[in-house]
Amino acid sequence: MRNIKMTIEYDGGRYLGWQRLGDSDKAIQGKIEKILSAMTGEEVEIVGSGRTDAGTHAKGQVAHFKTESKMELAAMQDHLIRYLPRDVIVKELEEVPERFHARYHATGKKYTYRIWNYAIPSAFERHYSYHYPGTLDADLMNAACRKLEGTHDFIGFSSLKKSKKSTIRTVNEITIRQTGPLLEFSFVGEGFLYNMVRIMMGTILEIGAGTMTVEDIEAIFENGVRSEAGMTVPSHGLFLDEVYYDA
């Protein structure tokens, strides 16, 4: 039995997210499984590093699948590129040890959220960034990023209702890069709760706009109340850039 690691890029705009949804043809996992099963003649199930929401994009989603097929990796990749929709691309295939698991062995992830910060929206950026026309204070946003870094209980920055599992997470780094009116916020961490990146992003935006303060972040960590954090920004500005694994 071979274990194949996949690195996948996709435009999530017309999909309901990564996770297979019954018989729906609108999930990326199901799209890939259908092609792999036809290609190998087996019932193939792929396991992703984690879910992405409806509308979220990926430049480096990672998944794995097991197969008895003897097909060469290059031929597999050619087949997948040929038969998958053009907005889903398998960028790399790699044979890995049988015990490798795309989700359980991930040690961290990098997400990027893109903001078009200009009075006039962009025709080209409209599907891949959130248009925010208001004035934003760079110093306040940077201060908010520093406050969100570190190990904290992020339940107040998630859409989880209740959780029996720990909601403590470590955010290693949040950086801001500006190219003209385009702001790119990168979030690197060991793991993220449901909607955590989008809510942190909404909080940073509201602090930059002056409707929240940096001190509010500490209060949200202490009380864990979701309604006191910022908005959940739309999914179409979010990209899963990279999933990290130990060498």
Lowest mean pLDDT among 19-23, 115-119, 212-216: 19-23
**Does any domain span residue 101?**
no
Residue 157 has pLDDT above 70, yes or no: yes
- Asked whether residue 30 is domain-assigned, the answer is yes
Helices (H), the chain: 28-40, 73-83, 138-148, 196-209, 214-223
Query: What percentage of the chain carries pLDDT values higher than 90?
Result: 94
What percentage of the chain has pLDDT greater than the value 70? Answer: 99
Same domain, yes or no: 72 and 185: no
Q: Are residues 166 and 62 in the same domain?
A: no
Q: Note whether 122 and 28 are same-domain residues.
A: no
Last residue of a domain, one of 96, 122, 155: 96
Q: Which are the contacts of 74, defined by CB distance < 8 A and separation ≥ 6?
A: none
Any domain includes 187: yes
Q: Look up the CATH number of the domain holding residue 203.
A: 3.30.70.660
Whether 47 maps to a domain, the answer reads yes
Give domain status of residue 236, yes or no: yes
Domain-embedded: residue 22: yes
Q: What is the pLDDT of residue 164?
A: 80
Mean pLDDT of 75-93: 97
pLDDT at position 246 is 92
The parent domain of residue 75 ranges over 2-96
Query: 96, 115, 133 — which closes off a domain?
Result: 96
Statement to judge: residues 66 and 121 lie in one domain: no
Does residue 81 contact residue 91 with C-beta atoms inside 8 Å? no
User: Is the pLDDT assigned to residue 234 strictly greater than 90?
Assistant: yes
Q: Domain ends where: 69, 96, 123? A: 96
Nearest to 201 by CA among 184, 216, 218, 189: 184
Do 90 and 164 share a domain, yes or no? no
112 and 130 within one domain: yes
User: From CA 234, how far away is CA 218, in angstroms rounded?
Assistant: 24
pLDDT of residue 21: 78
33 and 61 share one domain:
yes
123-141 per-position pLDDT tens digit: 999 999 999 999 999 999 9
Interval 29-40: pLDDT, tens: 999 999 999 999
pLDDT, residue 129, reads: 98
Is residue 50 predicted with pLDDT exceeding 80? yes
- What is the H or E stretch that residue 93 is in? strand 88-96
Residue 170 has pLDDT above 70, yes or no: yes
pLDDT at res. 140? 98
Q: What is the mean pLDDT of residues 102-127?
A: 97
Compute the mean pLDDT over every residue in the chain, rounded to the nearest whole number.
96
With bands split at pLDDT 50, 70 and 90, how would you rate the model's confidence at 23? low
Looking at the structure, tell me whether residues 117 and 69 fall in a common domain: no
Supply the pLDDT for residue 22. 72
Do 155 and 189 sit in the same domain of this protein? yes
Do 31 and 123 reside in the same domain of the chain? no
Is position 204 within any domain? yes
- The confidence score (pLDDT) of residue 110 equals 98
Instruction: Give the CATH number for residue 81.
Output: 3.30.70.580
118 with 151, same domain?
yes
Q: Is residue 197 part of a domain?
A: yes
Q: Name, in order, each residue with C-beta under 8 angstroms of 5's C-beta and a sequence gap of 6 or more.
A: 62, 63, 64, 93, 94, 95, 96, 100, 102
Burial of 50 (0-12, 13-18, 19+ CB in 10 A): middle
Position 81 pLDDT exceeds 80: yes
Q: Among all residues, which ones are annotated catalytic?
A: 53
Domains in the chain, number? 2
The answer on 50 and 128 residing in a single domain is no
